[in-house]
Amino acid sequence: MTTLGETTAAGHRSGFACFIGRPNVGKSTLMNALVGTKVAITSSRPQTTRRAIRGIVHRPDAQLVVVDTPGLHKPRTLLGERLDSLVRSTLTEVDVIGFCVPADQAVGPGDRFIARELANVKKTPVVAIVTKTDLVPPRRVAEQLTAVAELGEAAGVGFADIVPCSGQGGFQVDLVGDLLIRRLPEGPALYPEGDLTDEPEQVLVGELIREAALEGVRDELPHSIAVVVDEMAPREGRDDLIDVYAHLFVERPSQKAIVIGTKGARLREVGTQARTHIEALLGTKVYLDLRIKVAKDWQRDPKQLRRLGFD
């Protein structure tokens, strides 16, 4: 479904990265600084992975896709006995990991816990990033770089690089990008250039809604249901909520009544079920605005078919 970019020039690199670190160490800020725009999420599903995509760094020589590590933003999970399996599998599936440790706090048990976990992920290179350097004097940054190097040695993680940066201040953000990209395999762009919203994901979301609507309906109705996702975007000022606006089309008013159900009960159920699945797909909370419309005999109308995505 995704059109691959044409950039297959020799030496072009592409792949996936994730950031890991204690809560509040500046992972999201750094990700957004790297991507260059405030993309809370653009979520697509490359190959079979179920990771939500946080953003894509497009460069002439490389494409770096930053994926989310679900759960790690939540202190309870992070400081718990173990990382959940989803996070573990993310760590093994990406090409490079950025391990964030803030410059303004001493290396502590939380960092050591993560470092030990990273030591188990043998195949994936880890770039250690000392974040928030703008908050401390240079001497302190230097001390923290040493402390992080020692942390790596003690835990048995061989850091590929250790780099100081400030996502907020824009200090060495490009260098962080360079160091991550250096660890990616050679390959063509995975997403079209400039593409941060992605239609394929919208198609998948539409499918989830259709699936929920089909549950329990019989006869010819399933073929009469089509879903179009009109818009999907992060809620302004929030990076943990995505608004999804969708229309569910049926062919006749009688079908509309069936889908809506008594006092709207069925449509509400469809919405709830679809939302749960979309949230699992995107790895974030979702507000779903689902409306139903009659598109008379759309299956026989070429114009309607095109509009509903059946080219």
Per rule CB under 6 A, is residue 125 in the interface with ligand GTP? no
Q: Which of 169, 188, 261, 309 binds ligand GTP (CB under 6 A)?
A: 169
Q: Which of 132, 210, 247, 275 binds ligand GTP (CB under 6 A)?
A: 132
CA distances from 106 to 95, 138, 189, 270 (A): 28, 15, 39, 49
Handedness of CA 148, 16, 69, 238 (dihedral sign): positive
- Determine the interface stretch with ligand GTP among 90-98, 146-154, 166-174, 209-217 (rule: CB under 6 A): 166-174
- Determine the interface stretch with ligand GTP among 44-52, 130-138, 150-158, 221-229 (rule: CB under 6 A): 130-138
CA distances from 214 to 104, 137, 188, 207 (A): 53, 60, 38, 10
Q: Which residue is nearest to ligand GTP (CB)?
A: 26
Longest Cα–Cα distance in the chain: 73
| Residues present in the chain in total | 311
- Scanning residues 64 to 103, which ones bind ligand GTP (CB under 6 A)? 73
Q: Which of 107, 121, 135, 305 binds ligand GTP (CB under 6 A)?
A: 135
- In sequence order, the 6+-apart residues with CB closer than 8 A to the CB of 19 are 27, 30, 31, 66, 69, 97, 98, 99, 100, 129
**Residue 191 and residue 67: Cα distance in Å, rounded?**
14
- Scanning residues 188 to 217, which ones bind ligand GTP (CB under 6 A)? none
**Residue 282 and residue 149: Cα distance in Å, rounded?**
35
Q: Smallest distance from the beta carbon of 33 to ligand GTP, in angstroms?
A: 8
In the complex with ligand GTP, the residue whose CB is nearer, 29 or 255, is: 29
Antiparallel, parallel or unpaired: β 241-250 and 226-234: antiparallel
Per rule CB under 6 A, is residue 24 in the interface with ligand GTP? yes
Q: Residue holding tokens 């093994």?
A: 92
Per rule CB under 6 A, is residue 168 in the interface with ligand GTP? yes
In the complex with ligand GTP, the residue whose CB is nearer, 7 or 29, is: 29
Per rule CB under 6 A, is residue 27 in the interface with ligand GTP? yes
CA distances from 277 to 50, 71, 209 (A): 12, 17, 9
- Tell me, by CB under 6 A, how many residues bind ligand GTP: 17
- In sequence order, the 6+-apart residues with CB closer than 8 A to the CB of 234 are 39, 40, 41, 241, 242, 243
Q: In 3D, which of 122, 66, 74 has the Cα closest to residue 98?
A: 66
- Determine the interface stretch with ligand GTP among 161-169, 192-200, 207-215, 278-286 (rule: CB under 6 A): 161-169
At 122, give phi and psi (nearest 5°): -70, -35
- Determine the interface stretch with ligand GTP among 167-175, 200-208, 288-296, 297-305 (rule: CB under 6 A): 167-175
Binding site per annotation, positions for GTP: 21-28, 68-72, 131-134
**Residue 190 and residue 289: Cα distance in Å, rounded?**
30
- Determine the interface stretch with ligand GTP among 54-62, 128-136, 229-237, 288-296 (rule: CB under 6 A): 128-136
Per rule CB under 6 A, is residue 28 in the interface with ligand GTP? yes
Q: Smallest distance from the beta carbon of 64 to ligand GTP, in angstroms?
A: 18
Per rule CB under 6 A, is residue 51 in the interface with ligand GTP? no
Which residues form the interface with ligand GTP (CB under 6 A)?
21, 23-29, 73, 131-132, 134-135, 166-169
